[in-house]
Amino acid sequence: MKFLDQAKVYIRSGDGGAGSVSFRREKYIEFGGPDGGDGGRGGDVWVEAVQGLNTLIDYRYQQHFKAKTGVHGMGRNRTGAKGEDAILKVPVGTQIYEEDNETLICDLTEIGQRFKLASGGNGGFGNQHFKSSTNQAPRRANPGLPGQEAWIWLRLKLIADAGLVGLPNAGKSTFLATVTAAKPKIADYPFTTLHPNLGVVRIDAREFVMADIPGLIEGAHAGVGIGDRFLGHVERTRVLLHLVSAREEDPAAVYNTIRGELAAYGHGLTDKAEIVALSQVDLLDDDARAEKQAALAEACGRKPLLLSSATGEGVQDVLRALMKIIEDARAEEEDAEAADDRWQK
């Protein structure tokens, strides 16, 4: 299944049903009067976050979504039925934008969350509404009001606790495959990863979700390489794991390059908690390992962890460091929610 994280779709709510022009006609009842029913309301357009989806690929094959028109009114004061709603089912983490792709309409971050994108038109009045002392047999009824229409953008930002960043071939996909059941593509050439991957990490009887995105290179914010469009998938993470390959001649320069791309992208990525690890250290001897670790420490301002996904060295230490930051962030969020509940009461 292909990964699609952005789609443009057309939506239109249903028109209201027309009111009816009808008169009561029964045996032995003369001058029965008007009994035209009202038209039904048009269907609405909703967007709903559902479980089991992790891509917007369905919206590549269908871009138009229209709710049903309300049923017309009928005689004997029968009101038409409401038109059927149109529901766009999207993965959790989907944002809805207006046609300019900048104005946010809603952000669906929980399973079952719904938002009405377009309201159906009201049904028209039947001729019973126009009866008066001077017009006891009205022969007019209102048409239903038209529905609303718009083009909107769906943009998916994966919801994960930790995100992997680094240059291509920094060992991100190998690390994800080592610590989770995910099976990303792994090969010895740049840009093996072409779309984000998610995996569930289990450490010390606890779990968190990790996201791996395609590697960044210098100038990614200007579209070089794959660009930075996938950085949106780590915007919601609580912590970033920055991997720098031990094969790099200058780890400090590589670290500063990636930090520069994160700063150019913005959206608060440089303010997130960060764990720096020198990956693929099984390729180095002790002297080269110490030298590159010291150079990287000078660049990032703290001692980086040593990591080898191939041998398992340092993997548990990295996962525990991530888990600690994630649990602290979860505790802060729970405290904030509890405080809001107390304030509302």
| 64 membership: H or E segment, kind and range | strand 64-66
**Whole-angstrom Cα distance, residue 322 to residue 164?**
11
Dihedral (Cα; 103, 333, 274, 321), 10-degree rounding: -150
Q: Which residues are annotated as a binding site for Mg(2+)?
A: 173, 193
**Whole-angstrom Cα distance, residue 59 to residue 292?**
47
Provide φ and ψ at 111, rounded to 5°: -65, 135
Residues in the chain, total: 345
- Residue 181's nearest CA partner among 143, 207, 144 is 207
Q: Which residues are annotated as a binding site?
A: 166-173, 191-195, 212-215, 279-282, 308-310
Beta bridge mates, 94:
108, 156
**Whole-angstrom Cα distance, residue 45 to residue 27?**
45
> CA 174, 178, 183 angle in degrees (round to 5)?
70
**Whole-angstrom Cα distance, residue 57 to residue 122?**
33
Structure tokens at 85: 């709603």
Contacts of residue 163, defined as CB under 8 A and 6 or more positions apart, other chains included, come to: 210, 211, 212, 213, 233, 234, 237, 239, 240, 241
Q: Which residues are annotated as a binding site for GTP?
A: 166-173, 191-195, 212-215, 279-282, 308-310
Q: DSSP letter for 283, please.
A: G
Q: What CA–CA distances, in Å, run from 142 to 38, 122, 128, 164, 283?
A: 9, 10, 11, 59, 79
Phi-psi region of 290 (alpha: psi -120 to 50; beta: other; left: phi over 0): alpha
